[in-house]
Amino acid sequence: MKNKIPAILGITELIVALGALPAGWLLMTHPDGSGMHMSVDLLQGSPFPDYLIPGVFLFTVNGLFQLAASVLGFLRHRWAGYAGLALGIVLVSWICIQVTIIGLTSLLQPMFFIVGVLEIILASLIMKSKVDKPFHKDHS
């Protein structure tokens, strides 16, 4: 099972990316929220006048970066665990900030929170498995 964890992390990151890329694109191209059937009224009290900046973040970090991290997972790259951990923390934080600003408005929010926690767990397992291995061979 341990050798499947990077692929499971890759699949998890791919799911996040496939959700974030179109949503982020719609928010960037329709900053008034109309592309996602959302009102800018949700942003009252936030630092954002519209959805452009959240859309850029969603598209770039939760979309493109998660997509790149999924490739690292599928390739079992040595940075897959680090990328997964960082992006899992970002995703959990993103959801917490989002719910704080606009409230709990969708079942997708707790779902992606759980996915972020799953990313953190999977990435931690990958990193733990690498800690147990020596960095270099002992030549004594």
Q: Which sequence spans correspond to the domains of the chain?
A: 2-131
Whole-number pLDDT of residue 68? 98
Q: Are 62 and 120 in contact (CB under 8 A)?
A: no
The ranges of the chain with pLDDT < 70 are 1-2, 131-140
Cut 0.85: pTM above it: yes
Whole-number pLDDT of residue 130? 72
Whole-number pLDDT of residue 102? 87
- Angle of helix 108-131 versus helix 80-102 axis, rounded to 10: 150
Whole-number pLDDT of residue 60? 98
Whole-number pLDDT of residue 132? 45
